[in-house]
Amino acid sequence: MFMHCNMRKPEKILLWTLMAAVFVLGQAWPNVKLSSQPTGSGLKSDCAANLMRISLDEALAVGNQLEVEAINGSRLIMVTPSLAAQCGYSMESDPWGNTRIYTSLLGCYVDNKDDMSFTVGLRLKIFHHSPADVASHDVSQTCSYTRWAPREILCDRNYMEVSTYMTKRPQAEAKSQEKDDSQINAIPDGSNEERGIWKLTFFTPEPVSMVLTEAEQAGYSAMTTPTRLVVRSPYSTAETYSEDVAGVPMEVLKVSVYQKSPHGINIVNLAAACPTGGVLFTENLISWHLPRRVTPLLDGKVKTVEMHMGINGQRLDKAQMAARGYSLTTTDFHVVVEIPIGSPDGYYKSHAPDFQYHITYTVEPMLEMLWRADNTQDDTRYKILFPVTTPPMPRPPYTEDRTVLEERYFTAYVGTFLHDVQLKNITFPNGVFTIEESSARGFFIQQHVLSNGTSVYSIQVAFDSEAVLKYNPEPLTTTYSLPAVFGFVILPEETPFAYEMDLEVSLQDVVLPTLSGTCDPDYFHITVKYGSQGNTFQTLVGARDLTPELANAYQFQENSTHFTIQVPYAAEDAIFEVITTESIRSRLDMLLWDSKNNWVLGDLYLACYFPLATTRCYSNGTISALAVKVSSVPNLNPSWLTLKDPSCTPVSSNDRFAHFSFSADSCGTTRTFFSNYMLYENEIGLYYTREKVLPRTSPIDPEYRQTISCYYVVNDTQTIAFTAKPRRYEPKAEIGSGLMAVQMRLATDSSYRQFYEAEDYPVEKYLRQPLYFEVELESTDSHLELILENCWANLQEDGTSLPSWDIIINGCENPDDGYTTAFHPVEMDARVSVPSHAKHFSMKMFTFLEEQKVLKHEMYVHCNVVVCDKTSPAEGICRGQCAKNPTGIKTSAHQGMKRAQSTPTHQKQISSG
């Protein structure tokens, strides 16, 4: 079954439509100056049998508008699309301006010399950038053609033409015809003096008659030359009709021409039939089928005398056809022309239906046949110029990935495209960029033109570019992907289409972060060195995230390559593993964590021994011991621990420590004598009685046991003078007095682990920078508690000097202070065995002003403290820190007032400067 290719429809003749618009514009341009130029480079004229051909290459026409005028003596006639079809002119142009103009030698405005020599003159006006910028080229070509057949039929792109010899009748016959039919064939206007065409009758197949003027107004042309009668018709007029001949659709014209002569009317019957289809396409071949017997043109049997194939109106010989791969064959019903798709005589064109890249191939074959009728021996020359365009053929672009991993660049080629495709922009994940913008961002894009005229585009983008997406499918592997959408346009129509490319590679190029650590007597010192991905991980210290608050507490410091922290060995995030008499083994666990993928990037388990005296033996027979919760008994509550005597419980405890204080002769302590010393031993553990069952740890936890040992020398001999005198009265208890040591120190930070020494003073601080104070009672008596009563600051070591400013009033913060004093809890640890013996508070650095001037750059802090007996009923300040609202005198830094309270006997005043 044939695939019909309707190449003859008027809407397909794009160039003439374009020219019509140019002509209208040309008529509206006044004062146009024409520069007449001879035929030059890019313009060529030649003869092609019964046609004259002009070739205009893209060097002249590309990007410009073309106007054609016929030269008729001294007159110029604008060749419009309708006039072209009526007068035998046609034009074929590709999208890049390569143009061919054909003129029938029997056309209008041709200087005809006895139907043997024909001169055609055309003026080509090429409009450049403006209406006034016009180049004019006059083309004149004389063609000689004498091989006229009795009947010639020409099928061009936009018209059908048929011509025949005009016969001369014998004179006797003419006289007889004049006598018999003088009234029937008389010209209606009575003018029989000139020979000419009176009327035409078209058969559609119903007869439709028109006088010559009416036929010309309808777009037809009928004329006589010195020896021939010519009729020309555009395609698809009302007086032509379609007929299927051997499966090929054809446009048919049948007309009777009434020609007036001095002897009457001659009637000439003419017919033309031109194919409008009959083309089959395969992937690589065009097959054009023409009926071997064109029945609308034949009355009887005929014999094919000649058959020729050509391209662009020019015949090809057998050698030329073989070189191009063309073939011309016949079957029982058809003449078949075969042309390989891609032949150099045609051209490719890009298209984008549904925004997908397609191409078409266009070629203009010619078929010329000469057949002879058996009954009359008259020849008919049948010539067809038939442009063929393939249906759009999908040509999806391809991507050739030439990425070299070691170079860390994506490199790819995208193609192939015809030369009418232009890359406009590329869409990357970070935006849409033109070629120039892409180059400015470091994306190297280049066009490569291949030897066959097609082109490919190459793109090169670094792995580290902002346009490249990165993710880690595995901890050590990085996957780089480059999605890109290429935006193309097809010229000259500016038709857009897009092509999507996605490149992806994976590299084991991840350098993981590393952890290292050391210990000193008080701290774990941890260093975390960043890997190739920087600080993009989470850090777990123990079981907690390293939040900004926790990092500040652990003295976090960072630069571009690593960060460090200092963690006290007794910090909450550390784990106690083993305790001995003089030391404790503490462990710090750290984890670097990718929370997005749940990957462990690095870990550190650092365990060190830190000095810690868990047992203290006093000469007065008092023993103090510190019990520590260790990791081997994770569910232990230190408050459950007792000595061997279960009634001897800790004097204080928290979730990690339990502090015991007892006499050597109590709580189940055993005594063992050796030669020169005596050993006192007890044990801390979980003991159970029938009266009270203490909570147990997990069944899988081991039992907790910690031995307490104290050694006393027994073989030391000392001589003591002793005299006795009689006692005058019985002894009785009296209230006595003594000295208790209290010290105030300034800590380096809020951890209260390190303190400034005497040689560090004066300590320099900036305004509003926090100062951390500790006031501590040096005593082993757990029944005592230290209370801060009043604290103030002045400029002298003498606590009574002015001006001064209250910091703590009656155990509470000064309510008039804009930067309120803060109290901090005291936790039991290796340094503080009795938390009630110490108080921690902080204040922000300030200075004394007088008339906006600093009085002095040094400051002293003084405190009154009270030591309370926790076993006695609490009274006054001993009821607790800030037990009541302050009632003392409120002072002002500007007024410089001195406090008025006196120091009672149970108070102690201490100072720090």
- 3-state per-residue secondary structure call for 363-426: ECEEEEEEEEECCCCCEEEEEEECCEECCCEECCCEEEECCEHHHCEEEEEEEEECCCEEEEEE
Q: What mean pLDDT comes out for the span 710-716? A: 80
Please name which of 282, 275, 394, 276 lies closest in space to residue 338, comparing C-alpha atoms: 282
In the predicted model, is pLDDT for residue 693 greater than 60? no
Looking at the chain, the whole-number percentage of residues with pLDDT higher than 70 is 84
Q: What is the pLDDT of residue 716?
A: 66
Q: What is the pLDDT of residue 670?
A: 93
Q: What is the pLDDT of residue 4?
A: 39
Tens digit of each residue's pLDDT (9 = 90 or more) over 837-853: 999 999 999 888 887 78
Q: What is the pLDDT of residue 727?
A: 66
Q: What is the pLDDT of residue 609?
A: 93
In the predicted model, is pLDDT for residue 824 greater than 80? yes
In the predicted model, is pLDDT for residue 338 greater than 90? yes
Q: What is the pLDDT of residue 36?
A: 37
Contacts of 233 (CB under 8 A, 6+ apart): 159, 160, 219, 220, 221, 239, 240, 253, 255, 272
Contact 32, 134 (CB under 8 A): yes
Q: What does the block give as tokens for 724?
A: 């006795």
In the predicted model, is pLDDT for residue 45 greater than 80? yes
Tens digit of each residue's pLDDT (9 = 90 or more) over 511-559: 999 999 999 999 999 999 999 888 889 999 998 999 999 999 999 999 9
What is the maximum span of the chain, computed from C-alpha positions, in angstroms? 201
d(CA 822, CA 840): 9
In the predicted model, is pLDDT for residue 181 greater than 50? no
User: Residue 873, Cα to own-chain centre: how many angstroms?
Assistant: 76
Given pLDDT bands bounded at 50, 70 and 90, which one contains residue 125? confident
Q: What mean pLDDT comes out for the span 475-503? A: 93
Strands 770-778 and 741-747: antiparallel
Q: What is the pLDDT of residue 596?
A: 86
Q: What is the pLDDT of residue 800?
A: 87
Tens digit of each residue's pLDDT (9 = 90 or more) over 236-263: 999 999 999 999 999 999 999 998 877 7
Domain ranges of the chain: 43-146, 148-166+195-276, 278-393, 397-507, 514-611, 615-689+705-713, 742-877
DSSP state letter for 173: H
In the predicted model, is pLDDT for residue 882 greater than 70? yes
In the predicted model, is pLDDT for residue 736 greater than 70? no
If one compares 10 and 232, the residue with the highest pLDDT of the two is: 232
Q: What is the pLDDT of residue 887?
A: 39
Query: Is the four-CA dihedral 742, 746, 751, 752 of positive or negative sign?
Result: negative
Mean pLDDT check: name the lowest of 84-88, 736-740, 820-824: 736-740
In the predicted model, is pLDDT for residue 7 greater than 70? no
Given pLDDT bands bounded at 50, 70 and 90, which one contains residue 194? very low
Given pLDDT bands bounded at 50, 70 and 90, which one contains residue 37? very low
Q: What is the pLDDT of residue 321?
A: 94
Find where tokens 């190029």 sit: 509
If one compares 113 and 909, the residue with the highest pLDDT of the two is: 113
> CA distances (Å), 231 to each of 91, 192, 195, 268, 350, in order?
20, 22, 16, 11, 39
Fold of 148-166+195-276: Immunoglobulin-like (2.60.40)
Please name which of 206, 203, 196 lies closest in space to residue 233, comparing C-alpha atoms: 203
From edge to edge, which strands make up the β-sheet containing 379-385?
221-224, 228-234, 159-165, 151-155, 379-385, 365-373, 302-311, 314-315
> In CATH terms, are 43-146 and 742-877 the same topology?
yes
CATH 2.60.40.4100 fits 742-877, yes or no: yes
Q: What is the pLDDT of residue 438?
A: 92
Q: What mean pLDDT comes out for the span 115-142? A: 85
Q: What is the pLDDT of residue 369?
A: 94
Contact 909, 903 (CB under 8 A): yes
Q: What mean pLDDT comes out for the span 612-639? A: 88
In the predicted model, is pLDDT for residue 735 greater than 70? no
Q: What is the pLDDT of residue 260?
A: 85
In the predicted model, is pLDDT for residue 329 greater than 50? yes
Given pLDDT bands bounded at 50, 70 and 90, which one contains residue 9? very low
If one compares 383 and 676, the residue with the highest pLDDT of the two is: 383
Q: What is the pLDDT of residue 819?
A: 80
Q: What mean pLDDT comes out for the span 695-707? A: 65
Given pLDDT bands bounded at 50, 70 and 90, which one contains residue 20? very low
Q: What is the pLDDT of residue 814?
A: 87
In the predicted model, is pLDDT for residue 10 greater than 50? no
End-to-end CA distance of the chain: 112
Please name which of 633, 650, 630 lies closest in space to residue 642, comparing C-alpha atoms: 650
Given pLDDT bands bounded at 50, 70 and 90, which one contains residue 586? very high
Average pLDDT, the chain: 83
Mean pLDDT check: name the lowest of 23-32, 92-101, 634-643, 872-881: 23-32
Fold of 397-507: Immunoglobulin-like (2.60.40)
What CATH architecture is 514-611?
Answer: Sandwich (2.60)
If one compares 623 and 133, the residue with the highest pLDDT of the two is: 623
Fold of 43-146: Immunoglobulin-like (2.60.40)
d(CA 24, CA 27): 5
Find where tokens 């191939």 sit: 361
Q: What is the pLDDT of residue 728?
A: 65
Given pLDDT bands bounded at 50, 70 and 90, which one contains residue 64? low
Superfamily per CATH, domain 615-689+705-713: Zona pellucida, ZP-N domain (2.60.40.3210)
Q: What mean pLDDT comes out for the span 220-228? A: 93
d(CA 617, CA 619): 7
- DSSP string across 209-278: EEEHHHHHHTT-EEEE-SSEEEEEEETT-TT-EEEEETTEEEEEEEEEEEEEETTEEEEEEEEEEEES--
φ/ψ of 435, rounded to 5, equals: -60, -40
